[in-house]
Amino acid sequence: MGMMRKAQRRKAKLRLGLSGPAGSGKTMGALLVGYGITGDWDKICLIDTENYSGDLYANYSKDGIEIGEYNVISLTAPYLPDRYIAAIKECEAAGIECILIDSLTHAWSGEGGLLDKKGQIEKSNKPGVNSWTAWRDVTPMHNRLVEAILSSKSHIIATLRAKMEHVQEKDPATGKTVIRKIGMNPIQRDGMEYEFTTFVDIDQDHQCTSTKDRTSIVDGKVFNLTSDLGRQFLQWLESGIDAPAPAPAESPKVTPSPSTGSIRPAKLDIEKARRKFFATMGEEGERLGVDQEFACQTAKDIVYATLHVDSMSKLTPEQWASLITPGSMESLKRVLAKAIERKISPPEDEVPFKEAELPA
């Protein structure tokens, strides 16, 4: 009880995903939108995984497009998610207002990325290790990167390579058949696009369409990536109410209880709690015959709906302590099974953790 409140849109930071084939203009578009948001090139940092190509646009001037001198962090292989997270934290510490990740695909399919890591685990020949159990180690790495992006105090624009396909079309001007390269699905873990405020597909002619747009600014439109678009995004993001100030820190009130198995928040290792949560949910998903990734994402959605957060990183130590008790985990398993059976998250009026006694 006491968890319900009126919905209010709060000020937020942009999470923009740009997907397209090589040469579609993802990097330049990200820079232009970033400048529209900040109005200051020195407040932009590009995390470059594309062999130092991120520097090529500095002091660019052509066809009315002007790009100044921005900051760059160059990442080379291995493209471990933790290296992305470290780069994001460095940007935040330096006061960067808009972080451009170019590209996020390397964290998935690049050398040392998650697929590479999964392959190494499978080949380790350790007892009990197979293509399914390997996700037990890989999924938490992916989740940490997603949560670093979602919880960042900076605006984040991420580019993703798209699988390419060639199609034959007739040129309307000449009537001749031409071959055109189009982008298909983004190369990242399935469902990654749902983590963004707005997700954009870009074609070879630099034309953009949105597959998801919570702002409604570009929904249903064909558009280009410009500084003016960045300013429109910023105006929408700043039109909400201010986020509430953090509550004053209080002494932990959760105490051990033999009946519930609770853990003192002051002594809780949150990273171990995270690993326990995702390992348990992944194993339960495997027992139910579904992909571990799907099970973990469904479990996260249940937690979000119950505790009114949009990222696991926003859970307090008290909430983590209650979440990983045996009673809470068993309760979550039951709701998870029900959600998986219906292939969707539980209805909004269902309270998954009514038996777990989680803090509001």
Range name among 76-85, 146-155, 217-226, 337-346 with the lowest pLDDT average: 337-346
Do residues 277 and 181 both lie within one domain?
Answer: no
Query: 351: pLDDT confidence band, cut at 50, 70 and 90?
Result: very low
pLDDT band at 251 (very low <50, low <70, confident <90, very high): very low
In a domain, 210, yes or no: yes
On whether residue 253 sits in a domain, the answer given is no
- Among candidates 327, 324, 318, which has minimal Cα distance to 360? 318
Cα atoms in the 13 Å half-sphere on the side-chain side of 123? 6
Ramachandran angles phi, psi of 105, nearest 5° = -60, -35
Query: How many Cβ atoms are within 10 Å of 56's Cβ, its own excluded?
Result: 11
Q: Is position 27 within any domain?
A: yes
Sequence-ordered strand ranges (E) for the chain: 15-20, 44-48, 61-62, 65-66, 71-74, 98-102, 155-170, 177-186, 198-202, 208-213
For 21-173, strand residue ranges (E) read: 44-48, 61-62, 65-66, 71-74, 98-102, 155-170
Q: Are residues 20 and 79 in the same domain?
A: yes
Claim to verify: residue 232 and residue 269 sit in the same structural domain? no
Answer whether 126's CB lies under 8 Å from 57's CB.
no
176 and 101 assigned to the same domain: yes
Do 179 and 299 lie in a common domain?
no
> What span, in angstroms and rounded, lies between the C-alpha atoms of 171 and 352?
56
* 129 located within any domain: yes
pLDDT at residue 129, rounded to an integer: 76
82 and 218 together in one domain: yes
- Neighbouring residues of 40: CB distance < 8 A, sequence distance ≥ 6: 97
Phi first, then psi: give them for residue 198, nearest 5 degrees.
-135, 135
Instruction: Output the DSSP codes for 236-255.
Output: HHTTSBPPPPPPPP------
User: What is the number of helices (H) and of strands (E) in the chain?
Assistant: 10, 10
State whether 328 and 180 are in the same domain: no
Q: Is residue 250 part of a domain?
A: no
Q: What is the pLDDT of residue 80?
A: 94
Lowest-confidence segment of 168-172, 207-211, 217-221, 243-247 by average pLDDT: 243-247
| In-domain check, residue 258 | no
Torsions phi, psi for 85 (to 5 deg): -60, -45
Of 16-30, 57-71, 215-229, 271-285, the one with minimum mean pLDDT is 271-285
- Whether residues 60 and 203 fall in one domain: yes
Most confident of 16-20, 333-337, 343-347: 16-20
C-alpha 198/C-alpha 210 separation (Å) is: 7
Q: Would you call 282 exposed, middle or buried from its count of C-beta atoms within 10 A (0-12, 13-18, 19+)?
A: buried
Residues 198 and 296 in one domain: no
- Above pLDDT 90, what percent of the chain? 45
Q: Are residues 164 and 233 in the same domain?
A: yes
For residue 9 the two structure tokens come to 């849109």
- 132 and 57 in one domain? yes
- Pairwise pLDDT comparison (306 vs 99), residue with the higher score: 99
Left if phi > 0, otherwise alpha if psi is -120 to 50, otherwise beta: which for 311?
Answer: beta
Residue 200: CATH number of its domain: 3.40.50.300
Is 254 domain-assigned? Answer: no
Query: Quick one: pLDDT at residue 245?
Result: 58
Residue 289 belongs to what domain range?
265-342
* pLDDT higher than threshold 60 for residue 249: no
Q: Which residues pair with 201 in a beta bridge?
A: 19, 209
Q: Mean pLDDT over residues 304-321, rounded?
A: 82
CA angle 19, 203, 25 (to 5 degrees): 70
Whether 135 and 185 share a structural domain: yes
In this prediction, residue 183 carries a pLDDT of 57
* pLDDT on residue 231: 97
pLDDT above 90: residue 37: yes
DSSP code of 345?
P
Q: Tell me, yes or no, whether 53 lies in a domain.
A: yes
Number of domains in the chain: 2
Greater confidence (79 vs 131) lies with 79
Q: What percent of the chain has pLDDT over 70?
A: 85
**Structural tokens at position 183:** 């982008």
299: nearest Cα among 321, 317, 324, 316: 324
Other CB atoms within 10 Å distance of the CB of residue 220: 8
